[in-house]
Amino acid sequence: MRRLRLAFGRIAQETNSLSPVPTEVSDFTRTHWFEGAALLKRCGSRLRKEAPGFTFNAELSGFVREARRAGRVELVPLFSAWAVPGGKLSVEALEFFLERLTTDLIASGPLDGVMLSMHGAMGAEGSVDPEAELLRAVRRVVGPDCMIAVTFDLHALVTADKVALADVIVGYQTNPHRDHASCGRRAANLMVRKLRGEIQLTTTWRRLPLVMGGGTTLDFLEPMRAIYKRIAEMERIPGVLGAWTYQCQLWNDAAHAGWVVYVATDGDPELADRLADELADMNWAVRHQQPPTLPSASEAIRMARDATWRRRLGVVCLSDASDMVGAGAVGENTALIRALIDEGRGLLSFAPIRDAEVVAQLWDQTLGKRVAVQVGGKLAPEWYAPIDVTGVLLRKRHTAGFGRAVLLDLGHVKLVITEAAPLVMKPAFYHELGLHIQDADICVVKSLFPFRLYFLLHNRMTIYVKTRGVTDFDAWRTIRYDRPVHPKDAVAGWR
């Protein structure tokens, strides 16, 4: 049996096109950057975190371990670049990755397969479909006979070009996402089996004129629970290699956005088509179930105040739904902070905000000093107004993912100010600044779903709060699509 040479790497960023702050290469290198032997070592050991700050084991770890399990595989590590969700990549950033990917693949020599972990909803200035450009660059180097597998987030924008350029697209099947590693394992399994002639990979897909539906879209709650249950049943049918549903990123201005279903079979196109139609019908049937109406900041604070026993047993998490850094917002919403200051007396609240200017202003100040600063409203003033705050400078820290950070004690509100976007989805964000979650009544998070996993031991009540910002559930209505889409337009059917 011939030894296979398989390259692997990552270029992952989820784009919110409404964000005015472009994503640069430095946003990747600051957050997550590994290459060559260091990447292979990090992905091959269960004792090392593949993606510090994100997750312990992710797609590349799953790919490496499954490839090694298959035997007679030479692994060729490229590089792994992962950035916090944000604005579109700059022209320079996309050009950098196109050149770097091409250079590394040429240096790798002849390859049987290439696996790339991507988000699937990357945007870039001057590009209609940047991830397709990256895949096209791969194909130019490796040729038509080399297998290309990609892994996508569940919120990917799957396009005709991406489907044509990749032999298989493997996606998450959970929301909140908790199957990163298994996604990579499946990609490796399908790649090795196809290259060794054990399967004849056949794929098909359907794009639905649907950008928002499915209620909360959590995989373990209705209405999506029934769809994921059916996907699991489909994958037990002989000859089925995988089935996925992709719920598109809401705030990416790609004209071709829409939910997608994707099915892979072992040389049975008729079965693939039948299951894809069935899965598309199921997704279309839940289109009218929209996300719930969210409370205002004032209403959310009242709800938290009334939840006395929940606060005593843990913490109330307020998810800043209008400024979700986990969905690409800039992280400088002041509306919720203002409400906590004015209306949250008697409740100990932890909250973050991004303001590099204020961090620089306070960095050389003496701890314990009382300071007055104006925070917020600098990056996206059309969305977020600045506010004046006065408090005691408690701590200063260099953080791994958010740059320098300072902690201001405003009394009943402890405000963490960061240089970079504060992706608050883990208690560690506050712990790093010396704040203990068990002491708080309210913790503000900047994540839509993943925080539910990481705050599980502490969170006794979740409240999504709407103020005004780039991740509002109706902000996407400003985007122009290439065809009518539900619920923006009246659409008779997905076909």
Structural domain spans, the chain: 4-285, 297-472
Contact 314, 460 (CB under 8 A): yes
> What CA–CA distance (Å, rounded) separates 211 from 383?
23
What's the confidence (pLDDT) of residue 358? 98
What DSSP character marks residue 402?
S
- Preceding amide of 20 cis, omega within 30: no
Residue that the structure tokens 């939840």 belong to: 307
Strand partners, 230: none
> What CA–CA distance (Å, rounded) separates 137 from 12?
16
- Containing 392, the helix (H) or strand (E) segment is strand 387-398
Contact 318, 445 (CB under 8 A): yes
Cα angle: 16, vertex 126, 135; to 5 degrees:
80
Strand partners, 51: 55
> What CA–CA distance (Å, rounded) separates 322 from 318?
11
User: What length is written for the chain?
Assistant: 495
Contact 139, 107 (CB under 8 A): no
What's the confidence (pLDDT) of residue 45? 74
Condensed to tens digits (0 to 9), the pLDDT of residues 151-194 reads: 999 999 999 999 999 999 999 999 989 999 999 999 999 999 99
> What CA–CA distance (Å, rounded) separates 488 from 59?
34
- In order along its 495 residues, the chain shows pLDDT tens digits of 789 999 999 999 999 999 999 999 999 998 899 999 999 999 977 767 887 767 778 999 999 999 999 999 999 999 999 999 999 999 999 999 999 999 999 999 999 999 999 999 999 999 999 999 999 999 999 999 999 999 999 999 999 999 999 999 999 999 989 999 999 999 999 999 999 999 999 999 999 999 999 999 999 999 999 999 999 999 999 999 999 999 999 999 998 999 999 999 999 999 999 999 999 999 999 999 998 899 999 999 999 999 999 999 999 999 999 999 999 999 999 999 999 999 999 999 999 999 999 999 999 999 999 999 999 999 989 888 999 999 999 999 999 888 999 999 999 999 999 999 999 999 999 999 999 999 999 999 999 888 998 999 999 999 999 999 999 988 888 888 999 999 999 999 999
What's the confidence (pLDDT) of residue 478? 86
What's the confidence (pLDDT) of residue 52? 77
Q: What is the value of pTM for the model shown?
A: 0.93
Contact 259, 185 (CB under 8 A): no
Condensed to tens digits (0 to 9), the pLDDT of residues 448-464 reads: 888 998 999 999 999 99
Tokens of 3: 């030894």
User: First-to-last CA distance in the chain?
Assistant: 45
> What CA–CA distance (Å, rounded) separates 212 from 474?
10
Residue 71 has phi, psi (to 5 degrees) of 80, 155
For 467: left if phi > 0, alpha if psi spans -120 to 50, otherwise beta; the answer is alpha
**Ranges assigned E (strand) in 256-369:** 260-266, 315-320, 349-354
Q: What is the full DSSP assignment across 5-55? A: EEEEEEEE--B-TT-SS-B-HHHHHHH-EEEHHHHHHHHH-TTS-SBTTTB
